[in-house]
Amino acid sequence: MTIDYAVDETYQPGVDYDHDSEEQNEGQMTRWVSFTVDDEIYALNVLDVQEVLRDAEITPIPGAPDAIRGIINLRGNVVPVVDARTFFELEEKEYDAQSRIMVIEISTGEIVGLIVDSVAEVIQLPQTTVDQAMTTVNEDRARHILGIVPQDEKLIILVDMKSLSELAEV
């Protein structure tokens, strides 16, 4: 007895092998962590987000740029913390029970905390949608975004990790 076919996929536990025809038409899906700042919905690629902190003691740094709120001790590592509102040149707001610190790895490989108003959920977007995202915003804000994606009657602003590498320079 001989086998006349080749196996295209190696079995991996936990992987869903039922391929939905709609998903095949949309192409590969990418996962994004959505969060809010000033009632706008933003998203970072889930691969860039290491964790989300509810509470962390922020130690101010005298003479630091306005966007830098201070540093935190994250399991023995000193991590600079940036206020997303200041970084995106928005009006300041006091932190509340919904505020979170997203610990992200920026394009330089450094770890930075990003204070956001709230973290919503992990969403999936077809890669083709991300590639075709609209970039119809003013130039100052455009440098921080990959594009804008409509989803469920909302607009989601995809944050450009390259622009967040500016955080390492401060």
Burial class from Cβ neighbours inside 10 Å (0-12, 13-18, 19+) for residue 81 reads buried
Strand partners, 121: 34
Residue 151 CB-density burial (10 A; 0-12 exposed, 13-18 middle, 19+ buried): middle
Enter the tokens of residue 139.
Answer: 């130039």
User: pLDDT tens per residue, the chain (170 residues)?
Assistant: 333 333 334 344 444 544 444 444 457 888 999 999 998 999 999 999 999 999 899 999 999 888 889 999 999 999 999 998 888 888 888 889 999 999 998 877 889 999 999 999 999 988 777 766 565 555 555 667 788 888 888 889 888 877 766 655 55
| Predicted structure pTM score | 0.75
User: Which domains occur in the chain, in start order?
Assistant: 28-169 (2.40.50.180)
* Cβ–Cβ under 8 Å, residues 112 and 80: yes
